[in-house]
Structure 1
Amino acid sequence: MPASWNVEALKAQAVAARTYVAMQGNKVIDDTINFQVYAGYAWHANSTRAVNETSGQTLMHNGRYISAVYSSSNGGRTESNANVWGGTSLSYLPIKDDPYDSIDAWNFTINKTQIDTSNLNLLTPESWWSQTRERDTTIPNNIKTWLYNNGYSNTEIKIVSIPTMNFSNQVTSGGRVRNGDITVHFFVRSLATKDFVRNTDGTIRLHTVEFKNTTAQRIRAMIGINLIRSYLVDSVRETNTSIVVNGRGWGHGVGMSQWGAKGMADRGFKVAEILQFYYPGTTLTPVIQYAAHPVSNVQEQVTPLQITNERVEYDAKNDQIIIRYSLNQDAPVTITVRDSANKVVTTLIRDVTRKAGDLAQFWTVTSVPNGTYSYTIEAKNSSGVSANVQHTLAKATQQTVQPVVTEPVPEQVSQPKEQPATSEPVVQPKEQPVASQPVAQPAPPKVTTPPATTVQPKSATPSVAAVGTRVTGKVSVNVANIRKSATTSSTIVGKAKRNQNVNIVGRTGEFYQVQAGSVRGFIHVNLLTINQRLSNKNHIAVVINGRVANVQGNALVRNNTLYVPIKGVADNFKMSYQWNKKTNRITVRDKRSNGIMDVNNRNATVNGKKVKLTQAPQIINSRVYASLRTVNETTKAKTHWDSKARIVWITR
């Protein structure tokens, strides 16, 4: 549990951990996952205070120490010990709703087909084996690890497909899944002889592992405990090509929720109230004062933990976001994704120990809508560090490396294997009851966000640049590279010096499209400052081909989607625009593009081909509005919505 949390939550953790240790009696408690991984102490005033102020306190029931188990998050509902580990249900570990838990929603997507074998010569697998990769990364790797430990040791495996993965409707009284089905098809090659397992006709054999009505524990072990984070599964949605799983919580959900304890403490509850909520009917023993022990003043030299080279890529081929970063030492890492409203979308990993070096975390975004997402990378030791990187997901175009401030050189790194969380109590608790060392609280990650510019309120809203104004920007660093395309790996076609003004034509991802003299290219947004005030709190600016545009109406945000009047955009592009108000059909065309669409209908025709629009056109204030995605789909214009600056960029 992070030492920066409310001290009342830390006290509850100290009492629960102390009680769990006391219940073990004469057992020798080690520092492995048999009990609770312990990686050494790091003094912190908050955790020390929590330990001292609960000195000797434990939880009792009928004169005995209780089984004071706990998990990271119960997803909003606790579970019974009997449902998880069998045996008799304990009255102080009941099933009930938890309004204080952080919920910790999670989801993942499985592509059913991992390797398309239709174009592979199955008689000569040696010709394609080394170049062929699965479409997903994490899940196939987890399944391979499971297979290696269950009958396929000393082999090399390629996962061909995962056609089945679901859970039955039979759940525990706490709402957790019990059973399910999973099917995996795969190829096998011997590591010793390099021979392939073949059929009698010489083709490579397709192996199958299929479990019907097997335990949810087995399915979780195969898919990965950092993906199926709990058995509180809300839905499993299946299409012809993929399986999408949504759930809540992290860990078994029995006893105290660490995030729930934080929620209660933040609402003003004291340690006794927190413990009584999670372990009802128990007795908290009095504080015991022990003789003080001297503490050494020896200062240990500690190398600061650092996160560097953080950046985000979009892999359009596999529909995955790749978060890349580097660590200078081993550390537990948490990566959280938030949307433009700063709402947590998912936690990709929590307190998973990563080795020092260049690392990558993969997020399949098949079912994730386009938008701007921020990624917080937290690594923890005695001091804790964090890094934030923002990225705009636009699936129609391949987004590449998005630097945070400077332009780091992308490195080719492979995704590290997923590992179970192995640090102090803040980590995902194991499926076994665990104990911790309450004295040795790790210092929390200090989550930071990019600094925001504070504008002092004035008596009147600041005026904005007039329609027709050419948008320019001033270089804010000594030298800014002008690149051929919107990626830090593309060719440098020119340079701009500090305070040099350039014309800004448009925006692609985290790059401005610019013209500096005769040089056209892209400069990262963090290296330029726009000279004009384009927007204010009451006005969204629309910039078309580098000039402030009149689109015959205001740009509007509805359901987190930006809409613009389609006629105004068409007029700026000198396109023909027709709206048949009887049929509500809109036609926008010129020599380059011909788009035909209907109001409130996603079906459209573009250049003679039938397409499905991302959003249907709408009538707002007697005008036809289209989302930026629809503008892109029907006019082939490049679009970008900068929600922070309230600027719409459109180029064609």
Structure 2
Amino acid sequence: MKKVTSILLILLLAFSSFPIQNFHASAQTTQQPNVSVKLVNYLGNVHELTINFTGNYVLNNNIQIENGKTYRLRNEGGSLVLMEGTTRIHTFNEFSFVPSIYNEEHRIRINNRPYLGTIRFVAEGSFVRPINTIPVEDYLKGVVPSEMPASWNVEALKAQAVAARTYVAMQGNKVIDDTINFQVYAGYAWHANSTRAVNETTGQTLMHNGRYISAVYSSSNGGKTESNANVWGGTSLSYLPIKDDPYDSIDAWNFTINKTQIDTSNLNLSTPETWWSQTRERDTTIPNNIKTWLYNNGYSNTEIKIVSIPTMKFSDQLTSGGRVRNGDITVHFFVRSLATKDFVRNTDGTIRLHTVEFKNTSAQRIRAMIGINLIRSYLVDSVRETNTSIVVNGRGWGHGVGMSQWGAKGMADRGFKVAEILQFYFPGTTLTPVIQYAAHPVSNVQEQVTPLQITNERVEYDAKNDQIIIRYSLNQDAPVTITVRDSANKVVTTLIRDVTRKAGDLAQFWTVTSVPNGTYSYTIEAKNSSGQTVSANVQHILAKATQQTVQPVVTEPAPEQVSQPKEQPATSEPIAQPKEQPVASQPVAQPAPPKVTTPPATVQAKPKTPSVAAVGTRVTGKVNVNVANIRKSASTSSTIVGKAKRNQNVNILGRTGEFYQVQAGSVRGFIHVNLLTINQKLSNKDHITVVINGRVANMQGNALVRNNTLYVPLKGVADNFKMSYQWNKKTNRITIKDKRSNAIMDVNNRNATVNGKKVKITHAPQTINSRVYASLRTVNETTQAKTHWDSKARIVWITR
């Protein structure tokens, strides 16, 4: 998860492994639940580790471990061996250490990191894996300072504690670990301020309609929250709305990609062995990230050099929360076999240039390739391309759904309390009372082990891409092996072997271009933390067409659908994305044949595009519910200042987030967009309409989208605001001013002067079609106007 000074990372929650008594039951019985956490984040995968004891412990129910003892624990062929110095003390399949008394004076240090509670050590393949079981409130004391700086305002830390506790309660009995894939847990690394936040909210959770909410959060939403449905699919939850966040710190980011990574003009492509080891890519981070992605998606057991990244862009199709959905990326690279050290060559002996090209692919895939710490969120402001480079600018860090951690800090620093912070980010929810738990007896600090299960296994054939897709679900992380056998039970291929897969819905791809038709058996094997194997078998008849022809591509491919794990909010933030690229049946995948575009045989007349409302039209809306509340501000928790009845017409002045600003008689306020139906046709697929102060505006040019950013003619904005506008074409300086604002800007320059103060605007003005265009954010920054871009309806709302 994104950190502040290496503390906040991309913050995605999906954790818990409680003995499944819920918090309501705990409130009645005052018995605190436990949580069991697999320790991975700080330990990694090790064959041997050091453990040290403070206080007395009991090993496997009957062996006394004295205070101050230090041991080594190592994995020998699947058995665990406890050693004191060079002496072998005990050998077991697993070790369980329980403190004689549960308190802070009893601690186990694992490679010098302290933990409270019970620690069970198991063999995980050839590694040693500890599992820590601890009361949930003490667990949260190790989580909150790992997810949010402990020095922050205690009210923000309380909000973090409640969100983390709520998500734990909602997830039920699931296996978790201590990484960003669930929630970062640092063991007994407590801080006084964050511990106070946990103690002062003990047992408190957020509820909606009698159920725990999905209390997701991320580091920064960039100034606007996102809907859960836009990120993970499914139904939009009312307590996770899209709205502007004035408290978030924005957290702008950018990076540059050099299109050419290796200049091949001076290289002899017939003798790559003479220059391979000395040749490096121009950039470091992005090529390495792309290589890692390629190694996991069809190019395992190879060495790769990235030659160029000529294309990386996002489409204009945005979510209702303003995030990018799809885009294009192209990568050219050379390949060398790790096993044979041979280069993949063309028929003439020169080294082959491989190409991976995705058009209209998911933004998640592009982010996974470029790097989640570079594309920090899907709130991308611009992608600017030159002959030699690609520059990407964006805002936020993480998925943007639910609570912004930086926003919570901003609210706390302005005096808001925990209940107000949570109500802002999770409107309509109820904060439950504090619970007073009884002291936790030692006998209850025990782990409940959930059996590993493989479910929903099935096999499909994708004729378009000539691939077999093996789909299945895991209820916990586990190493997976997938083997394919023919009708004679002979192994055809092993697609993956002991590759750790995350819990959720998964898919494995197998390219079958050279595989004959027939009946095949697919065996999916997964190992639990004790090394025991569970398996599932599926038979499938492969029946490809006997003759394959290449069909010309006439239209753009449909947007790619990305399957998200159903029970895990991910991605951002650093959620492991499904492996959508097929695993090649050969060590090195071959480049796909070029696409051929063929014009249609006949040209049909286009249907007439419906006309839109004329310039000057007053925009009105009709109430579509029995009674619509008119609120003082754009929030469901804001004061109600009036009401409008069904079929009543109101004037729509503008839009703020998910609310229209309206005038209903003498009452002015805000009505939620779902409660009004606009009476006029304001736009169509070929036209973007700008509405300024409630009327269709004459912009003296068309609004347009460039690099996923909406731009409007600046003179049109100034004229509608009755501001003076001057553009010196020789110096490219623009001045717009009236009694309220005075802004001086230069074309293609982010430095500006607004009301006498030097500022850096988000987007530089641009000249397009002999006019000066400004982004909506720049309009806001220079004129103090409120702006909103409804990409779905293709309407721009500006009010001042």
Question: Smaller-chain TM-score range?
Answer: 0.3 to 0.5
Which residue is 1:541 aligned to? 689
Structure 1 residue 38: Cα displacement: 1.8
Worse-superposed segment, 631-640 or 147-156: 631-640
Q: From the superposition, tell whether residues 307 and 224 of structure 1 become closer, same or farther in structure 2 (CA, over 3 Å).
A: farther
CA contact (8 A) 2:613 2:681 kept: yes
Worse-superposed segment, 273-282 or 332-341: 332-341
Q: From the superposition, tell whether residues 196 and 599 of structure 1 become closer, same or farther in structure 2 (CA, over 3 Å).
A: closer
**Structure 1, residues 405-424: CA drift from partner, whole Å, max 9, x if none?**
99999999999999999999
Q: From the superposition, tell whether residues 432 and 648 of structure 1 become closer, same or farther in structure 2 (CA, over 3 Å).
A: closer
Worse-superposed segment, 170-179 or 589-598: 589-598
Structure 1 residue 69: Cα displacement: 0.6
Structure 1 residue 539: Cα displacement: 55
Which residue is 1:226 aligned to? 373
**Structure 1, residues 596-619: CA drift from partner, whole Å, max 9, x if none?**
999999999999999999999999
Q: From the superposition, tell whether residues 487 and 11 of structure 1 become closer, same or farther in structure 2 (CA, over 3 Å).
A: closer
Which residue is 2:318 aligned to? 171
CA contact (8 A) 2:320 2:791 kept: no
Q: Distance in 2 between matches of 1:46 and 1:448?
A: 63
Structure 1 residue 49: Cα displacement: 1.1
Structure 1 residue 2: Cα displacement: 1.0
Unaligned runs of 5+ in 2: 1-147
Structure 1 residue 73: Cα displacement: 0.6
**Structure 1, residues 417-475: CA drift from partner, whole Å, max 9, x if none?**
999999999999999999999999999999999999x9999999999999999999999
Q: Distance in 2 between matches of 1:592 and 1:397?
A: 73
Which residue is 2:542 aligned to? 393
Structure 1 residue 217: Cα displacement: 0.3
**Normalising by structure 1, what TM-score?**
0.48
**Structure 1, residues 200-252: CA drift from partner, whole Å, max 9, x if none?**
00000000000000000000000000000000000000000000000000000
Q: From the superposition, tell whether residues 538 and 188 of structure 1 become closer, same or farther in structure 2 (CA, over 3 Å).
A: closer
CA contact (8 A) 1:167 1:179 kept: yes
CA contact (8 A) 2:735 2:744 kept: yes
Structure 1 residue 37: Cα displacement: 3.1
CA contact (8 A) 2:239 2:429 kept: yes
Q: From the superposition, tell whether residues 251 and 449 of structure 1 become closer, same or farther in structure 2 (CA, over 3 Å).
A: farther
**Normalising by structure 2, what TM-score?**
0.39
Q: Distance in 2 between matches of 1:609 and 1:339?
A: 74
Match of 1:152 among 274, 283, 299: 299
Q: From the superposition, tell whether residues 158 and 494 of structure 1 become closer, same or farther in structure 2 (CA, over 3 Å).
A: farther
Worse-superposed segment, 441-450 or 555-564: 441-450
* SS of aligned partner of 2:374: coil
Q: From the superposition, tell whether residues 497 and 610 of structure 1 become closer, same or farther in structure 2 (CA, over 3 Å).
A: same
CA contact (8 A) 1:106 1:346 kept: no
Worse-superposed segment, 30-39 or 317-326: 317-326
**Structure 1, residues 80-108: CA drift from partner, whole Å, max 9, x if none?**
00011111100000000000011110000
Q: From the superposition, tell whether residues 51 and 144 of structure 1 become closer, same or farther in structure 2 (CA, over 3 Å).
A: same
CA contact (8 A) 1:73 1:260 kept: yes
* SS of aligned partner of 1:237: strand
Worse-superposed segment, 527-536 or 609-618: 527-536
CA contact (8 A) 1:324 1:360 kept: yes
Q: Distance in 1 between matches of 2:509 and 2:286?
A: 11
CA contact (8 A) 1:43 1:441 kept: no
CA contact (8 A) 1:379 1:386 kept: yes
Which of structures 1 and 2 has the larger relative contact order (alpha carbons within 8 angstroms, sep 6+)?
1
CA contact (8 A) 2:175 2:477 kept: no
1:75 aligns with 2:217: no
Q: Distance in 2 between matches of 1:110 and 1:297?
A: 54
CA contact (8 A) 1:320 1:363 kept: yes
Match of 2:794 among 617, 641, 646: 646
Structure 1 residue 343: Cα displacement: 64
Structure 1 residue 383: Cα displacement: 35
Which residue is 2:196 aligned to? 49
Q: Distance in 1 between matches of 2:656 and 2:545?
A: 12
**Structure 1, residues 318-341: CA drift from partner, whole Å, max 9, x if none?**
999999999999999999999999
Q: Distance in 1 between matches of 2:689 and 2:242?
A: 52
Which residue is 1:587 aligned to? 735
Q: Percent identity?
A: 95
Q: From the superposition, tell whether residues 88 and 320 of structure 1 become closer, same or farther in structure 2 (CA, over 3 Å).
A: closer
Worse-superposed segment, 319-328 or 467-476: 467-476
Structure 1 residue 43: Cα displacement: 2.1
Q: Distance in 2 between matches of 1:297 and 1:79?
A: 40
**Structure 1, residues 542-598: CA drift from partner, whole Å, max 9, x if none?**
999999999999999999999999999999999999999999999999999999999
Structure 1 residue 292: Cα displacement: 4.8
Q: From the superposition, tell whether residues 563 and 349 of structure 1 become closer, same or farther in structure 2 (CA, over 3 Å).
A: farther
Worse-superposed segment, 77-86 or 619-628: 619-628
Q: What are the within-5 Å matches in structure 2 for residues 180-191 of structure 1? A: 180-191=327-338
* SS of aligned partner of 1:403: coil
CA contact (8 A) 2:478 2:526 kept: yes
CA contact (8 A) 1:618 1:624 kept: yes
**Structure 1, residues 258-290: CA drift from partner, whole Å, max 9, x if none?**
110000000000000000000000011111122
**Structure 1, residues 346-380: CA drift from partner, whole Å, max 9, x if none?**
99999999999999999999999999999999999
CA contact (8 A) 2:262 2:308 kept: yes
CA contact (8 A) 1:170 1:178 kept: yes
Match of 1:40 among 187, 193, 200: 187
Q: Distance in 1 between matches of 2:248 and 2:176?
A: 29
CA contact (8 A) 2:362 2:560 kept: no
Worse-superposed segment, 320-329 or 424-433: 320-329
**Structure 1, residues 47-78: CA drift from partner, whole Å, max 9, x if none?**
11111111111111001111111111101000
Q: Distance in 2 between matches of 1:594 and 1:396?
A: 69
Q: Distance in 1 between matches of 2:629 and 2:429?
A: 65
Structure 1 residue 36: Cα displacement: 1.6
Worse-superposed segment, 155-164 or 641-650: 641-650
Worse-superposed segment, 70-79 or 548-557: 548-557
CA contact (8 A) 1:352 1:421 kept: no
CA contact (8 A) 1:109 1:364 kept: no
Structure 1 residue 45: Cα displacement: 1.5
Worse-superposed segment, 623-632 or 88-97: 623-632
Q: From the superposition, tell whether residues 354 and 22 of structure 1 become closer, same or farther in structure 2 (CA, over 3 Å).
A: closer
Q: Distance in 2 between matches of 1:400 and 1:512?
A: 53
Q: From the superposition, tell whether residues 611 and 223 of structure 1 become closer, same or farther in structure 2 (CA, over 3 Å).
A: closer
Which residue is 2:285 aligned to? 138
Q: From the superposition, tell whether residues 538 and 319 of structure 1 become closer, same or farther in structure 2 (CA, over 3 Å).
A: same
CA contact (8 A) 2:454 2:475 kept: yes
Q: From the superposition, tell whether residues 224 and 506 of structure 1 become closer, same or farther in structure 2 (CA, over 3 Å).
A: closer
Q: From the superposition, tell whether residues 379 and 53 of structure 1 become closer, same or farther in structure 2 (CA, over 3 Å).
A: farther
Worse-superposed segment, 588-597 or 386-395: 386-395
Structure 1 residue 529: Cα displacement: 71
Q: From the superposition, tell whether residues 487 and 30 of structure 1 become closer, same or farther in structure 2 (CA, over 3 Å).
A: closer
CA contact (8 A) 2:632 2:669 kept: yes
Q: From the superposition, tell whether residues 641 and 118 of structure 1 become closer, same or farther in structure 2 (CA, over 3 Å).
A: farther
Q: From the superposition, tell whether residues 95 and 509 of structure 1 become closer, same or farther in structure 2 (CA, over 3 Å).
A: closer
CA contact (8 A) 1:38 1:436 kept: no
Q: Distance in 2 between matches of 1:615 and 1:392?
A: 55
Aligned residues, how many?
A: 651
Q: Distance in 1 between matches of 2:466 and 2:641?
A: 30
Q: Distance in 2 between matches of 1:374 and 1:590?
A: 75
Q: From the superposition, tell whether residues 163 and 76 of structure 1 become closer, same or farther in structure 2 (CA, over 3 Å).
A: same
CA contact (8 A) 2:641 2:667 kept: yes
Which residue is 1:264 aligned to? 411
Structure 1 residue 516: Cα displacement: 81
Q: From the superposition, tell whether residues 196 and 419 of structure 1 become closer, same or farther in structure 2 (CA, over 3 Å).
A: farther
Worse-superposed segment, 501-510 or 163-172: 501-510
Structure 1 residue 29: Cα displacement: 3.6
Q: From the superposition, tell whether residues 168 and 244 of structure 1 become closer, same or farther in structure 2 (CA, over 3 Å).
A: same
CA contact (8 A) 1:314 1:398 kept: no
* SS of aligned partner of 2:162: helix
**Structure 1, residues 164-183: CA drift from partner, whole Å, max 9, x if none?**
00000000000000000000
Worse-superposed segment, 351-360 or 543-552: 543-552
**Structure 1, residues 503-540: CA drift from partner, whole Å, max 9, x if none?**
99999999999999999999999999999999999999
CA contact (8 A) 1:379 1:445 kept: no
CA contact (8 A) 1:142 1:418 kept: no
Q: From the superposition, tell whether residues 299 and 561 of structure 1 become closer, same or farther in structure 2 (CA, over 3 Å).
A: same
Worse-superposed segment, 298-307 or 157-166: 298-307
